[in-house]
Amino acid sequence: MNILNIRALRGPNLWGLHTAIQALVSCSGQELCLDHLPGFEDRLRERFPQITSFHPGAPLVSALELAALGLQAQAGCPVAFSRSVAIPDPGVYQVIVEYTEEAVGRLAIELALELCVAALDDLPFDLPSALNRLRELDEEVRLGPSTGAIVAAAVARGIPYRRLTEGSLVQFGWGSRQRRIQAAEMDSTSAIAESIAQDKELTKHLLEAAGVPVPKGRPVTDAEDAWAAACELGGPVVIKPRDGHQGKGVAANVESREEVLAGYAAAHEVSSKVMVERYLPGQDFRLLVIGNRLIAAARREPPHVIGDGEHTILELVDEVNSDPRRSDGHATSLTKISLDEIALATLAHQNFDADSVPRKGARVILRNNANLSTGGTATDVTDDVHPEIAARAVSAAQMVGLDLCGVDVVCESVLTPLENQSGGVIEVNAAPGLRMHLQPSFGKGRPVGEAVIGTMFDERDDGRIPVVAVAGTNGKTTTVRLIAHLLGLTGKRVGMTNSDGVYITNQRIDTGDCSGPRSARNVLFHPDVDAAVLETARGGILREGLGFDRCDIAVITNIGMGDHLGLNYISTVEDLAVVKRVIVHSVAPHGVAVLNAADPNVAGMANACPGSVTFFARDRHERVLANHLAQGKRGVFVDGDAIVGAKGKLRYRVALSDIPLTHNGTILFQVENSMAAIAAAWGLGIPWDKIRRGLATFVSDAATAPGRFNVFTHRGATLIADYGHNPDAIRALVQAVESMPSNRRLVVISGAGDRRDCDIRLQTEILGESFDEVILYQDDCQRGRADGEVMTLLRDGLTNARRTTHTEEIRGEMLAIDTALSRLQAGDLCLILIDRIDEALAHIAARNAEV
Amino acid sequence: MKRKDIRFLNLLSLRGPNLWTYRPVLEAWVDIGELEECPSNTLPGFVERLCAWLPTLSEHRCSYGEPGGFVLRLQEGTWPAHILEHVTLELQNLAGMPGGFGKARETGVRGVYKVVVRAWQEDVTRACLHAARDLVMAAIEDTPFDMAATHERLREIAGQHLLGPNTACIVDAATDKERGIPAIRLSADNLMQLGYGARQRRIWAAQSDRTGAIAQGIAQDPELNIRLLESCGLPMVDPADDKPQPDERGRYRLLVVGGALVAAARMEENGGAADVTEQVHPATATAACLAVRVIGLDIAGVDLVAEDIARPLAAQGGAIAGVHEAPAMIIHLHPTSGEPRPVGRAIVDHLFPNGDAGRIPVVGITGSSGTTEVAHWVAEFLRLAGKFTGLACGDGLYLDRRQAETGDCGTWRCGTQVLMNRAVETAVLENSAEVILGQGLAYDRCQVAVVTGIEPARHYGAYYIEKPEQVFQVFRTQVDVVLPGGVAVLHAADPMVVEMAALCDGEVIFFALDADLPVLGAHRALGGRAVFVRGGQLILASGTEESPLLPLAQIPFLAGDHANGRLNSVLAAVSAAWALGIALHVIRTGSETYSDEPAKAPSFDVTDPFVPITHSA
């Protein structure tokens, strides 16, 4: 068994809406059927008992598939979907396994293969270590608890998200509506405010000004000054570095001269600036303020053990650490207590060491700060907080300028105002950890992620911009451009991807075929985009899935006889329809699928659409369309000299004479493209007067739509340049050409080597019925074919041609064009099927200029 | 015991408008003892020694109004306190601060003077003052003085304490006459507050309070910077392409503020910068602004390389090298060639668009008595009008209805605290004569100034105040700072207060018990506003038009023994409320309900339910 290649499907794909690893795997001989591998299943189960059962007659890849899924599941990843599919190549399968983290999915496939090989060859397989590797990798790459909670809240609200880095920088929403977070920071979180929060003295100064109680104290210059300050304050003090975090270098509740001097030294190691403050008696509370509201509060306790009069502190710590909620990292709600140097020093302070046996009931503190990351615990007290305390916390946040912060309060109780006890705010923390509020050690978890999302997005805002996805065999690019043009008239800044490039408000920012998910993601990331129209080619869907989770409008122009059949194991038009249907699957519940009713493979997709459907067809009597209209649903068709949008008794007409693209309705494929665009615009809620204006002003020429039915005149003859390369496109072109008056018709054509033989042959078969002269050419690029092979196929297609009287074979596209031009006379028509679009159009323009 | 010495008896930091000037000053009380007998012309070689150490003194104009004026005074004979003033200013100058206001005045005590110098920064000015004393004494006593070391030390102190150049250029642009935005320094670093209370914004070098921490993080990550900008189609310099090939392309730094290009400079080989703002091609400016938008910054520098900044980037292999947060502005302020660009002003206009000065209504209240009462009344009217009101007065500091501090809070410190508070929508600040004399006002200008009445004799004794004119000078400070669109509320029955009307840049509302005072008549004849009592009614008059507010009998505050003393306070407060544009029905309701009983917020102790019930029905 060999893995031929591995792909990550990062968006909605052929197999569903979830992300998945897709591996191409080959098997041979006995591997094709597990029945022929005696003892394999038993050996497999010995090594991985949790693997689910599989069909005995299944191929070995099924074991790989289920192992990859099972290993992830056992490592704690919430995954459920997997599948193996045979492809036409004998012994080759697609194995699809859901993942939540791509790296974990890839490792799972790798480990599953190891497992299968071990079971085949009766070699050992270390399951615990494999699961551990997966678990550790998962913890490393997945979002941390704070970011994860915010992302989960966004997902629940239908807000799309995208990780911009491997860290915790996340984009919510799209285009101009996007927002960003990074762990517990929002894009609106002020950098200055964070700098203020970092400076404890400045923070205190500002809080004091805002009437928030803070412990009295001052910065000190040296150890003696620290002692002087302690004497001024009287009573126990806290010594801490001015810029510090996570409780480093803090000495709390010290009173004697020795302690103060030692505390100064410890603080001075962390920062050159040291503060001495009055020690506030009481407990540590963390108040979480988001926006201008108190969202959660927790009482925090430092790591400690309670003596039982029998066990040593070491044993007591081990016992506490045996709590399954305690892990070594952030993965669970608690972290293990470590008996490190700081802990031992803290013990020494209480006259203990690790082997001391504290008396029953004695509370032994192992650290002077209550951070969860060093083994502390948090108890939710949100519902206890006195409104006056909440108001002080909000004032503190506001004064520092933070829209998301943790306010550290020390007081006896949160049930009464700070002013009534000697409580105070000791610190304001930017980017606070949210774990203690999401999964407190004791008490209720609080919807913190929801609160963050709630301040970033209004109740009804999901951060999305209108997204239109367009797929189909022919007409995609024109339809995309037309929809983008109509959207632009509504004042929206439109981002567009198509096979020519990426356009933002009509400016091309990328070139080449941009109909894949990467370009789609770039458009949805661009800050100046208010709406997106995305050409969505099959290649990208197969390779990586969609670049978006959901669209408002999905347009399928047509499938016809298909194109590129045979590539990527898509060999029939039905297969192709399944691929293109992915965008219909991704339509939002309030969205619309715009489907060609005259194309049975397209019309059939209606059932897959979670939203509503608008059918279009030239003939209103097309059965699917007629039924749809009869049910009072939306349809678009041609009625006499106009395109009509109909719903129930409503009729919106757009005269064909007002759509220059259709040449008064004579170019039928442009009529169809117009209908698709009209249906999409209608679905987007664009007013009909704007739709009409847009259709009237849409320009499609060599400059704006190179290679899309570009019409020229040359010495009294008509030239049409087009990029059409499949039988359907050729048919549509022939129809268009036949509607145009001409004496003789000439055509210049080559064939793309990556199409099936029959498809290449069929193109000239169609042309032979309508053209008097055919100039065949081949270029250097044969896309995997031997020299002359394509030419032969094209020639074969002309064998029974009824109209063609002259055939020529030319090497080189430009020479072929020149040859055709030289044979042209006034009144003739010449269709040039160009391949190198820009070069050929420039060549034609140059020849025209010579006249 | 008589001695020839300059001794500081007291040093006052007047941190806001004061009886000398609108700006912060240091006021030194100086005792020159027997030097009173030694004017400068009587000390052989003194003037030469002084001028040798400080040749730039020759620039001082002093009373003659032209350079050399002060040296002339020295030669003619002037006293050490005056010399101390000029030397301090000159030392500040040498330490890098522009010159400015200075004064030396005699007091009623022989040999004791008040020397006042503009304090750009308190610690620096203090150091200059002390150095000036030593320098003048050395010149008097003909002892050596290490001028170079002093100069060096003062420059160093100035470097430590003065704002950095980026912050300073923004603050200067904000506080200049054109924008008139008040500023408060919040920390020893460069954290500055522009504007007051709820309308404030903050800056820290070239960062604003809306500069996002996440965006800064992105800007600091070159790899991420490039990836995000590239995905938006911006041409980027390839970081891998670092071979030291001769590059024809020039390096440019573009400054983008609030989504617009405000300055551009070409970085020269020699470390200089040439301004090219006018030459930048619009498409390049658009690309730079897009880059900044992608990163998410409001103020940023964009580095790029181009052969010719006047042509689009794409056409010439130009590319963006990166986006930087907190960009240095010095290259645009002091380019080695080309026009300096007002980048500070651009940032201020971004923070305060449409000419907004970031002010909240501030009411300053002063006078010899009754001011605390007036302050409470005005604050109550404002709270009733729905404004979150900060009140700093003689009996405490109040944030809305909460007393945040007790004791005398009618001080510069408490006033500043109120103006720093981001929740505060209006501020009512009481200022006694002592505050104006010893601390300065907490605000540069105010919307409404109230002067209740002046009893000069009450203020004699302290601060060498001995004459009515001096008392007038103290209290007028309050009226001097009224904004052009503001109002001075003045007691018409007090001639000294009436005299202040002419000093007010804004409108005047007079109040008095007696409706028939000639002052009121004359004021109303010119269409002015006045508040008084007639026939038991409290009347608001605007020119000849009179509207009764309510009968005095309906004001519970006036019931009882203190009615007469309190009535003036009520009139002053009602006038101030009227000046603030508070609706008359709100003023009426406030008058009918105001009580000086401490407002008791409805509160409950959550432990109450557990108090055992000891009685039964």
Strand partners, B537: B534, B551
Chain mean position to CA A6: 19
Q: How many CB atoms lie within 10 A of CB B109?
A: 11
Report the CATH number at residue A446: 3.30.470
B269 assigned to some structural domain: yes
Mean pLDDT over A680-708 rounds to 93
- Is B232 in Cβ contact with A211 (below 8 Å)? no
Write the DSSP symbol of residue B236. Answer: B
Q: Which of B192, B214, B414 to mutate: most A Cβ within 10 Å?
A: B214
Share of chain A above pLDDT 90, in %: 69
A82-124 tens-digit pLDDT: 999 998 888 999 999 999 999 999 999 999 999 999 999 999 9
- Is A527 in Cβ contact with B293 (below 8 Å)? yes
User: If we measure between CA atoms, which residue out of B88, B57, B96 comes closest to residue B73?
Assistant: B57
CA distances, A29 to each of A32, A35, A211, A412, B27 (Å) = 6, 12, 81, 75, 101
Chain B CB contacts of A210 below 8 Å: 399, 417, 420-423
Q: Which residue in the set A187, A195, A209 is minimally distant from B212, CB to CB?
A: A187
B525 assigned to some structural domain: yes
Strand partners, B25: B14, B118
Distance, in angstroms, between B604 CA and closest chain A CA? 10
Nearest CA in chain B to A415: B606
Contact A61, A84 (CB under 8 A): yes
Q: How many residues does chain A have?
A: 851
Q: Which residue in the set A398, A415, A522 is minimally distant from B231, CB to CB?
A: A522
What pLDDT, on the 0 to 100 scale, is given for residue A518?
95
Question: Are A452 and A478 within one domain?
Answer: no
Chain B CB contacts of A528 below 8 Å: 290, 293
Chain B CB contacts of A187 below 8 Å: 212, 214-215, 296
Q: Which residue in the set B211, B233, B420 is minimally distant from A509, CB to CB?
A: B233
Distance, in angstroms, between B477 CA and closest chain A CA? 25
Q: Which of B194, B231, B320 to mutate: most A Cβ within 10 Å?
A: B231
Question: Are B545 and B402 within one domain?
Answer: yes
Chain B CB contacts of A165 below 8 Å: 224
What pLDDT, on the 0 to 100 scale, is given for residue B606?
44
- Is A528 in Cβ contact with B213 (below 8 Å)? no
Domain count, chain A: 4
Question: Are A65 and A172 within one domain?
Answer: no
Handedness of CA A26, A29, A32, A34 (dihedral sign): negative
Report the CATH number at residue B458: 3.40.1190.10
Confidence of residue A746 (pLDDT cuts 50, 70, 90): very high
Question: Are A124 and A92 within one domain?
Answer: yes
Mean pLDDT over B459-479 rounds to 94
Report the CATH number at residue B214: 3.30.470.20
Distance, in angstroms, between A160 CA and closest chain B CA? 18
A549-563 tens-digit pLDDT: 999 999 999 998 877
Q: Which residue in the set A187, A399, A504 is minimally distant from B215, CB to CB?
A: A187
B617 assigned to some structural domain: no
Question: Are A661 and A745 within one domain?
Answer: no
Last residue of a domain, one of A91, A124, A141: A141
What pLDDT, on the 0 to 100 scale, is given for residue A758?
87
Confidence of residue B605 (pLDDT cuts 50, 70, 90): very low
What pLDDT, on the 0 to 100 scale, is given for residue A195?
94
Share of chain A above pLDDT 70, in %: 98
Nearest CA in chain A to B420: A209
More confident residue, A39 or A533: A533
Distance, in angstroms, between B438 CA and closest chain A CA? 21
A779 assigned to some structural domain: yes
Question: Are A661 and A541 within one domain?
Answer: yes
A82 assigned to some structural domain: yes
Question: Are A189 and A55 within one domain?
Answer: no
Mean pLDDT over B20-34 rounds to 94
What pLDDT, on the 0 to 100 scale, is given for residue B612?
40
Chain B CB contacts of A416 below 8 Å: 605-607
Last residue of a domain, one of A645, A663, A697: A697
Question: Are B437 and B381 within one domain?
Answer: yes
Write the DSSP symbol of residue B212. Answer: B
Share of chain B above pLDDT 70, in %: 95
Q: Is the pLDDT of residue B1 over 50?
A: no
What pLDDT, on the 0 to 100 scale, is given for residue B565?
78
Report the CATH number at residue A763: 3.90.190.20
Distance, in angstroms, between A522 CA and closest chain B CA? 5
Q: Which of A192, A243, A273, A505 to mutate: most B Cβ within 10 Å?
A: A192
Contact A245, A431 (CB under 8 A): no
Q: Is the pLDDT of residue B603 over 70?
A: no
Query: What single letter denotes the amino acid at residue A651?
Result: R
Chain A CB contacts of B231 below 8 Å: 521-522, 525-526
- Taking CB atoms and an 8 Å cut-off, how many pairs form between chains A and B? 119
Domain residues for the domain of A383 are 144-215+288-298+372-458
This prediction has a pTM of 0.89
Question: Are B169 and B285 within one domain?
Answer: yes
Chain B CB contacts of A208 below 8 Å: 417
Question: Are B206 and B331 within one domain?
Answer: yes
Last residue of a domain, one of B139, B161, B183: B161
A534 assigned to some structural domain: yes
Question: Are A9 and A126 within one domain?
Answer: yes
Q: Is the pLDDT of residue B207 over 80?
A: yes
- Is A192 in Cβ contact with B208 (below 8 Å)? yes
- Is A199 in Cβ contact with B210 (below 8 Å)? no
- Is A399 in Cβ contact with B422 (below 8 Å)? yes
Contact B41, B75 (CB under 8 A): yes
Nearest CA in chain A to B417: A209
- Is B421 in Cβ contact with A210 (below 8 Å)? yes
Confidence of residue A247 (pLDDT cuts 50, 70, 90): low
What pLDDT, on the 0 to 100 scale, is given for residue B299?
97
B51-108 tens-digit pLDDT: 999 998 888 888 777 888 899 999 999 999 999 999 999 999 999 888 788 999 999 8
CA angle A540/A541/A542 to nearest 5° reads 90
**DSSP tally for chain A: helices H, then strands E:** 27, 38
Nearest CA in chain B to A501: B233
B244 assigned to some structural domain: no
Last residue of a domain, one of B358, B385, B400: B358
B275-332 tens-digit pLDDT: 999 999 999 999 999 999 999 999 999 999 999 999 999 888 899 999 999 898 999 9
The CA-to-CA distance between both ends of chain B, in Å, stands at 82
- Is A185 in Cβ contact with B213 (below 8 Å)? yes
- Is B213 in Cβ contact with A194 (below 8 Å)? yes
Question: Are B125 and B219 within one domain?
Answer: no
Q: Which of B232, B323, B401, B607 to mutate: most A Cβ within 10 Å?
A: B232
Nearest CA in chain A to B606: A415
Q: Is the pLDDT of residue B165 over 70?
A: yes
A244 assigned to some structural domain: no
Report the side by side order of strands in the sheet with A745-749: A710-714, A717-722, A829-833, A745-749, A773-778, A806-811
What pLDDT, on the 0 to 100 scale, is given for residue B599?
52
Mean pLDDT over B252-256 rounds to 96
Domain count, chain B: 3
Mean pLDDT over B445-469 rounds to 94
Question: Are B93 and B126 within one domain?
Answer: yes
- Is A525 in Cβ contact with B207 (below 8 Å)? no
Share of chain B above pLDDT 90, in %: 83
A588-627 tens-digit pLDDT: 999 999 999 999 999 999 999 999 999 999 999 999 999 9
CB-count burial class (<10 Å; 0-12, 13-18, 19+) for A460: exposed
Question: Are A832 and A814 within one domain?
Answer: yes
Handedness of CA A288, A290, A292, A294 (dihedral sign): negative
- Non-local (6+) Cβ contacts of A829 within 8 A are A717, A718, A719, A720, A737, A740, A742, A743, A744, A745, A746
- Is A195 in Cβ contact with B204 (below 8 Å)? yes
Chain mean position to CA A645: 34
Question: Are A689 and A714 within one domain?
Answer: no
Question: Are A622 and A683 within one domain?
Answer: yes
Question: Are A605 and A492 within one domain?
Answer: yes
B616 assigned to some structural domain: no
* Whole-number Å distance between alpha carbons of B6 and A522: 73
- Is A191 in Cβ contact with B207 (below 8 Å)? yes
What pLDDT, on the 0 to 100 scale, is given for residue B264?
97
Contact A583, A497 (CB under 8 A): no
Domain residues for the domain of B282 are 164-238+250-358
- Is A187 in Cβ contact with B296 (below 8 Å)? yes
B299 assigned to some structural domain: yes
B304 assigned to some structural domain: yes
Which segments of B397-445 does DSSP mark as H helices, in order? Answer: 412-420, 433-438
What pLDDT, on the 0 to 100 scale, is given for residue A703?
84
CA angle A619/A623/A626 to nearest 5° reads 75
Q: Is the pLDDT of residue A674 over 70?
A: yes
Chain A CB contacts of B293 below 8 Å: 527-528
Question: Are B279 and B369 within one domain?
Answer: no
Last residue of a domain, one of A141, A160, A182: A141
Distance, in angstroms, between A529 CA and closest chain B CA? 10
- Is A189 in Cβ contact with B296 (below 8 Å)? no
Chain A CB contacts of B399 below 8 Å: 210-211
Q: Is the pLDDT of residue B120 over 80?
A: yes
B139-161 tens-digit pLDDT: 999 999 999 999 999 999 999 99
Question: Are B199 and B103 within one domain?
Answer: no
A531-547 tens-digit pLDDT: 999 999 999 999 999 99
Question: Are B96 and B182 within one domain?
Answer: no
What pLDDT, on the 0 to 100 scale, is given for residue B608?
45
Question: Are A176 and A79 within one domain?
Answer: no
Tokens standing for residue A326: 């305690």
Distance, in angstroms, between A156 CA and closest chain B CA? 24
Question: Are B230 and B285 within one domain?
Answer: yes
B56 assigned to some structural domain: yes
CA distances, B391 to each of A755, B403, B421 (Å) = 83, 9, 11
Mean pLDDT of chain A: 92
Q: Is the pLDDT of residue B604 over 70?
A: no
Mean pLDDT of chain B: 92
- Chain B residues whose C-beta sits inside 8 Å of any chain A C-beta: 186-187, 189, 191, 202-204, 207-218, 224, 228, 231-234, 290, 293-294, 296, 325, 397, 399, 402, 404-405, 416-417, 420-423, 603, 605-607
- Is A399 in Cβ contact with B209 (below 8 Å)? no
User: If we measure between CA atoms, which residue out of B18, B116, B101 comes closest to residue B440?
Assistant: B18
- Locus of tokens 């009909």: A688
What pLDDT, on the 0 to 100 scale, is given for residue B613?
39
Question: Are B376 and B514 within one domain?
Answer: yes
Q: Is the pLDDT of residue A242 over 70?
A: yes
Question: Are B462 and B579 within one domain?
Answer: yes
Distance, in angstroms, between A167 CA and closest chain B CA? 11
* Whole-number Å distance between alpha carbons of B129 and B116: 10
- Locus of tokens 């009882």: B560
Poorest-pLDDT segment among A63-72, A789-798, B202-211, B346-355: A789-798
- Is B186 in Cβ contact with A169 (below 8 Å)? no
